[in-house]
Amino acid sequence: MAAARSMKLDVVTIFPRMVEAPLAEGVVGRAIQRGLIDVRVHDLRAHTTDRHRSVDDVPFGGGPGMVMTPEPLFRAVDAIARERGEPAAVILTSPDGRLFTHREAERLARLGHVVVLCGRYEGVDDRVRHHLATEELSIGDYVLSGGELPALVIVDAVARLIPGVVGDEASVARDTFARGLLDFPQYTRPAAFRGLEVPPVLLSGHHAEIERWRRREALARTLETRPELLETAALDDEDRAWLQELVELREKGAS
Ligand code: 4FV
């Protein structure tokens, strides 16, 4: 199913400027200006009720650090639903979530409206995870100081899938992972640089030859760096024959 024609994304954070700045630049920035995607950044403190505008507190049961309190996050999502309609998903970014992948980006791009909650401190009260967020996504097995960078990764990856955001649709369709493989090598002028030549096939004008070379390079790179991707990639007989050849070459090389 194709991506939604337009997309609403709401990001809830205690550092709105940290999220707004990157969204003002490049492909995503232009898409927002052109109204292709509608991104709003919400300051969590605007949804606090105490005069200290506090968003965190000490953990019950003791332990280091602070935990984000549930109320401001629930009030923020309530306000977004009132102002912008009920979101199709409320995503909590955290290292405990499912890994965010291209397939996840394609799924979110079909939803039309998602909210992203940015954790800070030691994390969020678990009632947010179970009674506010509809899903939890991680961008990788490492601990960041906040969920803002993951939120920006998600917004950028999803925005690129909205029709018209990336000038040339073909480039999105050809993106790494869109075809389940790593990308093929890219070259541009000069054809010779410090004695380093561009592969002649790319200068040949033989488009079928060029496509075949690119496919083979993408397969070789995927076999080398991310062989597990080959299990889910859409491969044809020629691909499998080429991969078999590469494996035999590698075994000969190893022996
Ligand atoms: C993270 C990740 C991440 C954990 C504690 C924010 C931090 C702090 N989010 N993928 N990796 N979050 O490290 O998504 O609250």
Average pLDDT per consecutive 10 residues, the chain (255 residues; last block may be shorter): 80 98 96 96 98 97 96 98 98 97 95 97 96 98 97 97 83 72 95 97 97 96 95 93 94 79
- Among the options 129, 160, 214, 215, which is catalytic? 160
What does the pLDDT read at residue 179?
73
Cβ of 141 below 6 Å from ligand 1: no
Q: What pTM was estimated for this model as a whole? A: 0.92
- Contacts of the segment 76-80: beta carbons below 8 A, 24+ positions apart: 76/12, 76/42, 76/44, 76/46, 76/47, 77/12, 77/115, 77/117, 77/132, 79/42, 79/47, 80/10, 80/12, 80/40, 80/42, 80/115
Q: Tell me how far the alpha carbon of residue 145 lies from the centroid of ligand 1, in angstroms.
A: 7
What does the pLDDT read at residue 33?
96
What does the pLDDT read at residue 1?
60
Torsion from C-alpha of 28, 33, 39, 44, nearest 10 degrees = 110
Q: Annotated catalytic, 5?
A: no
Q: Annotated catalytic, 236?
A: no
Which residue type does 78 have? D
Instruction: With both helix axes pointing from N to C terminus, report the angle between 148-159 and 16-23 in degrees, rounded to the nearest 10.
Output: 30
What does the pLDDT read at residue 194?
97
Q: Tell me how far the alpha carbon of residue 92 lies from the centroid of ligand 1, in angstroms.
A: 9
Q: Tell me how far the alpha carbon of residue 233 lies from the centroid of ligand 1, in angstroms.
A: 29
Instruction: Count the neighbouring beta carbons within 10 Å of the beta carbon of residue 237.
Output: 7
Cβ of 13 below 6 Å from ligand 1: no
What does the pLDDT read at residue 169?
65
Cβ of 123 below 6 Å from ligand 1: yes
Cβ of 120 below 6 Å from ligand 1: yes
Q: Tell me how far the alpha carbon of residue 11 lies from the centroid of ligand 1, in angstroms.
A: 15
Cβ of 118 below 6 Å from ligand 1: no
